[in-house]
Amino acid sequence: MIWNEPKECMDREEMTHLQGKRLRSTVEKVYQNVPFYRRKMQELGVEPEDIRRIEDIKYLPFTTKQDLRDNYPYGLMAVAPSEVVRLHASSGTTGKPTVVGYTRKDIDMFSENVARSICCTGGNRDDVVQVAYGYGLFTGGLGLHYGAEKIGAAVVPISGGNTMKQLTLLQDFGSTILACTPSYAMHLAEVLAENNIDPASLKLRIGIFGAEPWSHEMKEKIEKGLHIKAYDIYGLSEVMGPGVSCACGIGEGLHVAEDHFYPEIVNPETLESLENGELGELVFTHLTKEAMPLLRYRTRDLTYLNDTPCDCGRTNVRMASVKGRSDDMLIIRGVNVFPSQVESVLLSIPEAKPHYLLVVERKGAMDTLEVKVEIDETYFSDEINAINILKNRIRHQVESTLGISIKLTIVEPKALERSEGKAKRVLDLRKEEEK
């Protein structure tokens, strides 16, 4: 079912026209109400009247996460404080948190887009949606909650964690949709197996997973382990939360709600615009947001766009699953390394578990990468030699994928921390030293 056919299946030309119209009004609004944007546009010599069509977006300034931090907490709000009905914030792991405000209309728009996403994955009002995303400042829990209620589904607002209770409710409530991070879905699948619960005995049929990049191999493992069809939902609090885009049943990308968020792909180094199909950094401009509209917000997520109509009937542009974040990207001895590359390799090796930790250190002038991997219990041996052979095989495969030499360390099963939210995959001790 398509939740909002007029918008999701809109003729391309009509969509471009609508986007242009909405961009004009957003630009006018931020120019008048947000000193930060007025100054930035003046510096570039751009007046609101210069923006007529969507193509003119290229004249507008970019916004970064640092800009949000610099204007913490309310500096980028474009409405009076009384108009704001909710605040969300992203975790401040790498600095101050970033705060995002929503007006009542913004919350409606958020719910509308999550409703579209759930329908995109095949969900409907008969579903029971177990929301195992965290509720709170993180947008995942409340985002899915409002969207699921909007389509008339039953919501189980269990939030993240409490794994045994998650399993009990999956069994007792007959939840048909599970929404959480992919790493937590993987953990649930493992615990299900440990407790000898046949996933086919559950009513669960759809998984809506997001908030961290995951590989195709991981998707297959989760689908098998939970006996479901898994869909990638994408979003970030700065833009809205989950539901900025979502995968459909065709499996060739995530439909972007482009009547609300205009996507662009740019070269992260030069910021020059890239064509459809070219891999680069995803940038969003708000077209309808009231409380805190952002111009050309740099997501740091790497992907590419495809604007050909989809077999599912939607015409909204599709983005590929995020390949990695330019933030997560580690530069080790001049080579770009993404945690997702390591994950893909590990998932292709039956003896290895997809639980890993990358530890980067600087020894003298030399950066070293240690990959800690858990080995499946059934494969370890009483002979050091056999473990070494396995270790070398894994090391060789990781090295040939990454293109740099690594230290591979095998750790006891379950030695690495399991996440109930976003998984911690990287420990960059070079940064710790700088602090």
Nearer to other proteins, 283 or 410 (CB): 410
Beta-bridge partner residues of 370? 359, 407
Torsion over CA: 374, 340, 177, 137 (sign): positive
Residues 381-410 within binding reach of other proteins (CB under 8 A)? 381-385, 387, 409-410
Nearer to other proteins, 353 or 422 (CB): 353
Nearer to other proteins, 108 or 377 (CB): 377
Closest CB 192 distance from other proteins, rounded Å: 17
Beta strands 324-325 and 297-303, pairing class: antiparallel
What's the burial of 242, exposed, middle or buried (CB within 10 Å: 0-12/13-18/19+)?
Answer: buried
In 170-320 the beta strands, taken as DSSP E runs, fall at 177-180, 206-210, 229-236, 241-247, 254-256, 261-266, 280-286, 297-303, 305-306, 318-319
Torsion over CA: 397, 400, 401, 402 (sign): positive
Nearer to other proteins, 12 or 407 (CB): 407
Cα separation of 350 and 375, whole Å? 9
Closest CB 383 distance from other proteins, rounded Å: 5
Cα separation of 370 and 257, whole Å? 40
For other proteins, which residue of 73, 75, 199, 413 counts as binding (CB under 8 A)?
Answer: 413
Nearer to other proteins, 270 or 378 (CB): 378
Contact string (CB under 8 A) for other proteins, positions 113-152, x = contact: ----------------------------------------
Q: Is 196 in the site for other proteins (CB under 8 A)?
A: no
Beta-bridge partner residues of 121? none
Q: Is 157 in the site for other proteins (CB under 8 A)?
A: no
Name which of 251, 154, 204, 286 is nearest 144 in CA terms: 154
For other proteins, which residue of 377, 389, 396, 431 counts as binding (CB under 8 A)?
Answer: 377
Q: Is 412 in the site for other proteins (CB under 8 A)?
A: yes
Name which of 398, 406, 390 is nearest 351 in CA terms: 390
Q: Is 164 in the site for other proteins (CB under 8 A)?
A: no
Query: Which range binds other proteins by CB under 8 A, 239-247, 262-270, 339-347, 376-384?
Result: 376-384
Binding footprint of other proteins on the chain (CB under 8 A) = 375, 377, 380-385, 387, 409-415
